[in-house]
Amino acid sequence: MKKIRRIFGKDIGAALFFLMPALILFTVFTAIPVVAAFFISFTHWDLFRPPTWVGLDNYTRLLHDPIFGKVMKNTAIFVLATVPLQMGLGLLAALALNRGIRGQTFFRVAYFLPAVTSTIAAALVWSWLFNSNYGLINAGLSMIGVDNVPKWLASTKWAMPAVIIVSVWQNVGYAMVLFLAGLQNIRADLYDAAALDNASGWSRLWHITLPMLSPTTFFVLVISIIGSFQVFELVFIMTEAGPANATNTLVYYIYQNGFQFYQMGYASAAAMILFAIVLLITMVQYTTQNRWVHYDT
Amino acid sequence: MFVTLKDVRKSYGNLEVLHGVNLEIEQGEFCVFVGPSGCGKSTLMRMIAGLEEISGGEIAIDSQVVNEMEPAERGVAMVFQTYALYPHMDVRKNMAFGLRMTGHSRAEIDQRIAQAASILQIEELLDRKPANLSGGQRQRVAIGRAIVRDPKVFLFDEPLSNLDAELRVTMRAEISQLHKRLSNTMIYVTHDQTEAMTLADKIVVLRDGHIEQTGAPLELYDDPDNMFVAGFLGSPRMNFIPAVVTGSGARLICGTDIDLPELSTKLTQGQKVFVGIRPEDMDEESPQAQTLTRSVIMLEELGGTRFVHADGAGAEPLLVEQRKRSAEAPTVTARFTTDRMRVFLENGARVR
């Protein structure tokens, strides 16, 4: 309190007044639930009877839960596939649009539109597109002569790739907009200097653009990884984790256990593990960033 | 001629910003483009570098037309106002980058860097990143990056503008010494007439996309073609006193009659002219000196010299430089001889 008073001085009343809405929302919807979940993860609780303290039981059960193992594997595959794809394609799109091609505004909007479209609506439309009997995608594949069209969302092999495709489609625009902003922040005089230094287009990309873009890349990487770990709506609408848990991912599994099987303690334990993984990865990223992130000062 | 510009033009859409520039620069010459902002001097330099397209005319370096050449093929190196050092590379890598891109051997690169670093005394900075250098050090590194490429022509684009006043004077002297030592051709852009006067073998005064005059610093200072050049070079600037031509000389705006110098062009009686006299030529001891007495508005005492601002009698205040100390007085008497007087027509053109 002393410190707060030192920072805000005699304006503390006004400062708290303006901070209040955000503070209340954060406390009620973030801080309390997180702390509560932490404690709930050490209990058995079905929402109707009072919770009973079971110590680490939920965590040991998770370790031996074969579905949880599969969920972890699915989540890892999903993250490892979507993050590089949406970042790579987003960067390519940004580089192309940054060259000032014709219809730049149109492409910018076209790529960004999926990012602002309701995930639920998009997932529904994509479910129809992926429909193995009547979907446009398989119609197209048949037309170009593919005989054994995949059953997509109904296939344990193709359901995950389908979800990944939609997720990448939805997030490429967001990455692209961030990369575009980053590209436009690179000082033009560096390219002048590079032109005089005989750097070819590729050299300029490799030696100037990518290093100078690294703060943006770092930011996009961090938020993409966090976002990918939290995939839920796509799975919820497109596959409901099926078939046979082929697309079951961490957040969906947490939802399933909490709100379908009424195992709040078990769900909370899984949530804690998700939290720990994301925290760990983000910490590793922050501590290794000075090896490859260059801030232009 | 080493660098030749023939009727060089630049336009952006319908807007022409350089209107046919003709210029010749000799090998080893230090040529300074000077002019107010927006005069086209930086654009002209960037066109020589190859960073701006040439809309018309021809630029040749070392008797090769470079219009269609890539910047790196022209044999020029440039030092930017913003330094333009690569922030993610240390000083050594910054200097090596151009050589690496042109495929020089490691040994050659190391040797050139060592040599340039010793010339510029930046050896102890080689492993630092630009962020950890002061402005002056960054500028040195930027110059070093140009030196290692051993260019036919050095281009300096307002290299001292981002430095503080004291450092600017030091770096100015260093660039001048560097030119003596390397004896490469150098082209230097500035808006600062002091830099132009002190550095140049040849000054090119630009205004609104035209060359106003080209010549050695003292040539331009003593024998300007027009009021713009006369006013731009020299600080404080030349006094321009409005006058009307009379039978025997001219009547100044304050009513004083003076003699004009011998002119080969005949002026007609009643014609309006400007009489230009530099402040330092307004306190002559000569017995032929004409005098003009005005009341004092303000006095700037600098110790070694002082500037007396006198009433302009309806025109701009008159500036008189006095190097001899004297008691402060309510009036000042300017003494000047006709040989230090320059006469300009109403449109600014010089009458010789």
pLDDT digit string (tens) for B70-80?
A: 999 999 999 99
Best residue of A191, A197, A208, A291 to probe chain B, by most B CBs closer than 10 Å: A197
ipTM: 0.85
Instruction: Please answer whether residues A268 and A37 qualify as being in contact, where contact means their C-beta atoms are separated by less than 8 angstroms.
Output: yes
Does residue A189 sit at the B interface (CB-CB below 8 Å)?
yes
Does residue A185 sit at the B interface (CB-CB below 8 Å)?
no
Helix (H, G, I), strand (E, B) or coil at B8: strand
Best residue of B52, B97, B129 to probe chain A, by most A CBs closer than 10 Å: B97
Does residue B272 sit at the A interface (CB-CB below 8 Å)?
no
Does residue A198 sit at the B interface (CB-CB below 8 Å)?
yes
Closest CA to B25 of B143, B144, B147, B155: B155
Residues B8 and B18: their CA atoms lie apart, in Å, by 7
Does residue B91 register a pLDDT over 70?
yes
Does residue B71 sit at the A interface (CB-CB below 8 Å)?
yes
| Interface contact A192-B51, CB threshold 8 A | yes
B chain contacts of residue A202, beta-carbon cutoff 8 Å: none
Does residue B50 sit at the A interface (CB-CB below 8 Å)?
yes
A142 assigned to some structural domain: yes
Rounded to two decimals, the pTM is 0.82
Q: Which of B66-90 are b and which e, b meaning 16 or more Cβ less than 10 Å from the residue's Cβ?
A: beeeebbebbbbbbbbbbbbbbbbb
The CA distance from A97 to the nearest CA of chain B, in Å, is 22
A12 assigned to some structural domain: no
Residue among B50, B76, B84 minimizing CB distance to A193: B84
Domain that holds residue A115: 59-291
Instruction: Please answer whether residues A51 and A44 qualify as being in contact, where contact means their C-beta atoms are separated by less than 8 angstroms.
Output: yes
Which residue is associated with the tokens 């630029």?
A: B59
| Interface contact B72-A193, CB threshold 8 A | no
- Interface size between A and B, measured as CB pairs under 8 A: 63
Instruction: Please answer whether residues B328 and B247 qualify as being in contact, where contact means their C-beta atoms are separated by less than 8 angstroms.
Output: no
Residues B328 and B301: their CA atoms lie apart, in Å, by 11
Best residue of B73, B86, B157 to probe chain A, by most A CBs closer than 10 Å: B86
Residues B340 and B278: their CA atoms lie apart, in Å, by 8
The CA distance from B98 to the nearest CA of chain A, in Å, is 4
A249 assigned to some structural domain: yes
Average pLDDT value over all residues in chain B: 92
B chain contacts of residue A295, beta-carbon cutoff 8 Å: 87
A232 assigned to some structural domain: yes
Residue among B80, B85, B87 minimizing CB distance to A192: B80
pLDDT tens per residue, range B205-251 = 999 999 999 999 999 999 999 999 999 999 899 999 999 999 888 99
Does residue A291 register a pLDDT over 90?
no
Does residue B93 sit at the A interface (CB-CB below 8 Å)?
no
| Interface contact A203-B76, CB threshold 8 A | no
Confidence of residue B287 (pLDDT cuts 50, 70, 90): confident
Does residue B52 register a pLDDT over 80?
yes
Q: How many CA atoms lie within 13 A of A19 on its CB side?
A: 10
Instruction: Please answer whether residues B40 and B209 qualify as being in contact, where contact means their C-beta atoms are separated by less than 8 angstroms.
Output: yes
pLDDT computed for residue A104 by the predictor: 82
Q: Cα angle at A49 between A43 and A55, to 5 degrees?
A: 10
- Give the CATH number for residue A144: 1.10.3720.10
The CA distance from B152 to the nearest CA of chain A, in Å, is 13
Report the CATH fold assignment for B3-226: Rossmann fold (3.40.50)
Residues B84 and B90: their CA atoms lie apart, in Å, by 13
Closest CA to B51 of B80, B27, B89: B80
The DSSP code sequence of A115-146 is: HHS-HHHHHHHHHHHH-TTT-HHHHHHHHTT-
pLDDT computed for residue B196 by the predictor: 94
**N-term to C-term CA, chain A:** 35
A37 assigned to some structural domain: no
A49 assigned to some structural domain: no
More confident residue, A207 or A290: A207
Average pLDDT value over all residues in chain A: 90
**Residues A62, A65, A67, A71, CA torsion sign:** positive
Domain spans, chain B: 3-226, 239-351
Does residue B78 sit at the A interface (CB-CB below 8 Å)?
yes
**N-term to C-term CA, chain B:** 30
* CATH architecture observed for domain B239-351: Beta Barrel (2.40)
As given in the structure block, the two tokens for residue B253 are 């705006």
Residues B63 and B199: their CA atoms lie apart, in Å, by 25
The CA distance from B89 to the nearest CA of chain A, in Å, is 9
A286 assigned to some structural domain: yes
Does residue B278 register a pLDDT over 90?
yes
Residue among A189, A203, A212 minimizing CB distance to B84: A189
Residue among A189, A197, A200 minimizing CB distance to B97: A197
pLDDT tens per residue, range A134-193 = 888 888 888 888 888 888 888 888 999 999 999 999 999 999 999 999 999 999 999 999
A196 to chain B: closest CA residue = B72
Does residue A101 register a pLDDT over 80?
no
Residues B309 and B199: their CA atoms lie apart, in Å, by 30
Does residue B69 sit at the A interface (CB-CB below 8 Å)?
no
Q: Work out how many domains chain A is built from and give that number.
A: 1
